[in-house]
Structure 1
């Protein structure tokens, strides 16, 4: 029997655990639990592990898994030097992030340029999430410029654009990890120097807070040198700069990758990796991914109203702005992430066929017809 401590907010954690695993759930708000006698720790991005937060690693602990694509909340070198195998759920939320980006783009176009085609979109970071973004943009006939020099180094089939080519795009969207060191640091990758000399129409960050210099971004917006920006991630998260949020076209509390399906995938991936590491023979339980029919009858819709019904992006935006003046906004930011129901990804949604015929954008997003 494997003894595992798991964040109580990990989705379907009880339903998806392997039969040979005994779970002890903990509340991350109470800090890191007692790990003595624990073989595996399963956590989320809200829990940071390093030499300061986990100075004494019990000998029993061998596996740490994070139900997230990113690992910047973990000091992997420190953990691995202490004999810990670290696993992530890379790719679990790629489709959800891509849908967030495309939804933001459609909402932005409807408000600013409803009859104009999108310009070139520079995708910075073309891993799992960035590749999913390229796929959905291509479905909409949008020209993508893919920039990812580290991937070009490790993947002989991929050719990265030059930095000049990607900065020549009208729209930029970010999908990179936050790295402050190494050959390709991403901290404040988009800074005042790179913003100068360009007239970007829209900049989207659904990667990690700190990849963009938010103060420089806001300054260029206020000066009219950027038309709009969309931020889902923030420096100092769960705190966030209320002035930066105020000027954003859309501001959300790090939920781009949140969906019913992505959360199930994350837990499945981590348990599968844990089962492999501990050589557990019985397969992990499978969770049935159901579709949902959205009733859109008897209401006059335009594309903005439809997207608002099908995706909570503008609901999160309003909620984030409503809590900006609150002294406890850091706690409320976390609550927005933890307490709102997860949305269904577009290809798990069904609507009446006449809606799809009138709004082909929905079909391109993956929504299907009832029946």
Structure 2
């Protein structure tokens, strides 16, 4: 069995080498000729899996995407070909939620506007939006949710209309899939009119897909409204961000919000489990085998008395400023965007840091953020 896997997908050999021959490929430049004799195809969002890519292949039986979104997968065509396909929903939800939370703490410090005094609107309350909600509520921040699909489901949470959210929120974080059709398309969801309607001093974060915001309209709005603060992890036209927009973005990164070691491992592991089930085999490996051990920090969580102390604690796990600096220095380089993503291997999630839990200390809110705790 030949397993074709994106070169930037981690832990593939550790999980799949016993199943078949693993061949690494550049997912963004993958051709039909390369796929001709593949039995299994493991991709990320940079690969369009469609009729053109699979035109020469007659034996493919499984496609796995280590992503939340499926907009790069031609599901109708794969169904016609009777090719099993799957993705990894929720694999990097914690990482994305923590990224957005950390970015808010960084803005709060930079502009001396405490996050706890803000009302945060989350647009898209699925896996990643819910992970951000968890962090914010653990910290005691007021949250409003907008998700028209979940609002008509049996989800017990309260939802508000989009225009109401924009009117009431000081911070808005985007966590929607990219869709161009249906009752609630998200392509250019934030066009010039919506961008202009944002509250004074609003913080806008995009951690889902670049085209959810009209980047040219955003650039034009920023010429008129310096009060708006921006965090962009995703960009229209990736891997070639709009160069003139970058200087106006307060925190800029190359689509790595979900790129924690845990998130990457979880995505690959979910595909491993799905392939083993498809083949009727037992998945005998575990995700814990893939990750480095937890870090131990002899720090009493009760010694986190304010927002500055919390940000200092968070930076022990992931200092977002590092990725922002690298992005600004390298995004215009040849293949700079993709190389930054490929080489991004250092980030952990809050759970990687084990904090000392002193008896009698009120640490629930710190642990609810996701940090690991151990009694002393």
How far has the Cα of 1:325 moved from its partner?
4.6
SS of equivalent residue, structure 2 residue 24? strand
Determine the C-alpha separation between the residues in 1 that align with 2:205 and 2:276. 37
Change (3 A) 1:159 1:309: closer
How far has the Cα of 1:254 moved from its partner?
0.5
Work out whether 1:265 is the aligned partner of 2:279.
Answer: no
Match of residue 209 from structure 1 = 210
Q: Is the 8 A contact 2:137 2:143 kept in 1?
A: yes
- 2:369 is aligned, of 342, 365, 369, to 365
SS of equivalent residue, structure 1 residue 180? coil
TM (norm. structure 1) is 0.87
SS of equivalent residue, structure 2 residue 273? helix
When structure 1 is superposed on structure 2, of 91-100 and 27-36 the one drifting more is 27-36
SS of equivalent residue, structure 1 residue 243? coil
How far has the Cα of 1:144 moved from its partner?
1.2
Match of residue 49 from structure 1 = 49
1:124-163 map, 5 Å: 124-155=123-154, 157=156, 159-163=158-162
When structure 1 is superposed on structure 2, of 85-94 and 75-84 the one drifting more is 75-84
Gaps of 5+ in 2: 300-307
Change (3 A) 1:335 1:312: farther
Work out whether 1:323 is the aligned partner of 2:330.
Answer: yes
How far has the Cα of 1:14 moved from its partner?
1.3
Determine the C-alpha separation between the residues in 1 that align with 2:311 and 2:261. 22
Match of residue 172 from structure 2 = 172
Q: Is the 8 A contact 2:206 2:233 kept in 1?
A: yes
Match of residue 199 from structure 1 = 199
The count of aligned residue pairs is 359
How far has the Cα of 1:36 moved from its partner?
3.6
Q: Is the 8 A contact 1:294 1:351 kept in 2?
A: yes
Q: Is the 8 A contact 1:258 1:342 kept in 2?
A: no
Match of residue 65 from structure 1 = 64
Match of residue 310 from structure 1 = 317
When structure 1 is superposed on structure 2, of 242-251 and 147-156 the one drifting more is 147-156
Match of residue 28 from structure 1 = 27
When structure 1 is superposed on structure 2, of 96-105 and 144-153 the one drifting more is 144-153
Change (3 A) 1:334 1:115: closer
